[in-house]
């Protein structure tokens, strides 16, 4: 089993050594799993439980003060499951797996996804809002009212640095809050099949119910018999160019994992001007690339 994991692409993180240790643990846990789908789920669950990362506990806060989680998983037989906009669900990746294995659907959302999680034994009603995130949110004096009332407030705050390269809000203005580190993902292979998974808490101060690239097939994650990819970064732009699908398309053209990652990010930057990162795994190698200040990864092999 070979596994590569990432902890998000964005600004330089606090506690990089501690974060790296968690990433190394996640990769090792994944590599000890019996098959690739188990591997990516196990690896991502480790990261969802660590508040240093923007997934599960410690996820980004939406404009109404609630953390909502998203995730997607895919196997190389093109079986897919995703779940999104789930309050109180720490292990979104496990809900995505339920969608893949137990339903005829590709994506389930909101409170109905939470109900599905509860029915299949995935924990719900978890307090995902950490003290630091609560303090940061409250310091921004969020307005009451309708989404229309919130738009002017979030215009200079949405996403400000969380998954992006710079320290800009959604309109290019300076963001005031600390960046969210960061969307997480994993890709695994056992010599026969591949699996990919990505999980996130989204981006700070988005409208309640906003869903980015992570649970969208081909955007936040993608997998075929040629290999798999997991992306992180400016979600709207990743979705516009289906970044993970592009990386795997390059694998299918016979390009190696590292070159596929490099080319996918180069093309992404040319098209969007935004920040992103990607991990890629093929039959023989792992690759990663980013155009942000940093993206930490870890690779593990169980022999």
Q: Give catalytic residues, as residue numbers.
A: 183
SS3 content of the chain, % helix, strand, coil (to 5): 35, 25, 40
Any residues with CB less than 8 A from the CB of 138 and at least 6 apart, and which? none
Residues 69 and 211: their CA atoms lie apart, in Å, by: 9
Q: Do the Cβ atoms of 4 and 260 come closer than 8 Å?
A: no
Smallest CA-to-CA distance from 288 within 241, 237, 240, 227 is with 227
Question: Of all helices (H) and strands (E), which one includes residue 150?
Answer: helix 147-155
Query: Can you state the angle between helices 36-48 and 16-31, rounded to 10 degrees?
Result: 150
Interstrand relation of 194-200 and 68-75 (parallel, antiparallel or unpaired) = antiparallel
- The phi and psi torsions of 81 (rounded to 5 degrees) equal -145, 140
């Amino acid at each position: 089993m070979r596994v590569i994991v990432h902890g998000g692409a964005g600004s330089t993180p606090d506690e990089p050594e501690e974060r790296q240790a968690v990433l190394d643990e996640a990769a090792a846990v994944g590599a000890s799993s019996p098959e690739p789908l188990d591997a990516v789920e196990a690896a991502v669950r480790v990261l969802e439980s660590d508040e240093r990362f923007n997934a599960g506990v410690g996820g980004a806060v939406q404009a109404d003060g609630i953390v909502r989680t998203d995730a997607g998983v895919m196997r190389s037989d093109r079986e897919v499951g995703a779940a999104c906009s789930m309050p109180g669900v720490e292990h979104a990746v496990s809900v995505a797996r339920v969608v893949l294995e137990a339903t005829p659907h590709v994506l389930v959302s909101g409170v109905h996804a939470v109900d599905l999680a509860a029915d299949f034994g995935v924990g719900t009603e978890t307090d995902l809002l950490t003290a630091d995130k609560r303090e940061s949110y409250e310091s921004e004096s969020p307005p009451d009212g309708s989404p229309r009332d919130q738009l002017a407030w979030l215009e200079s705050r949405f996403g400000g640095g969380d998954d992006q390269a710079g320290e800009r809000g959604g309109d290019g203005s300076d963001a005031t809050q600390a960046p969210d580190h960061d969307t997480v993902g994993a890709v695994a292979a056992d010599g026969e099949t591949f699996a990919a998974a990505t999980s996130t808490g989204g981006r700070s101060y988005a409208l309640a119910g906003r869903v980015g690239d992570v649970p969208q097939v081909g955007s936040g994650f993608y997998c075929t018999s040629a290999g798999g990819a997991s992306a992180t970064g400016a979600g709207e732009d990743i979705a516009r160019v289906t970044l993970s699908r592009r990386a795997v398309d390059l694998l299918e053209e016979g390009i190696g994992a590292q070159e596929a990652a490099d080319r996918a990010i180069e093309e992404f930057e040319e098209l969007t001007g935004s920040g992103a990162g990607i991990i890629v795994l093929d039959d023989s190698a792992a690759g990663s690339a980013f155009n942000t200040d940093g993206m930490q990864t870890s690779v593990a092999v169980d022999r």
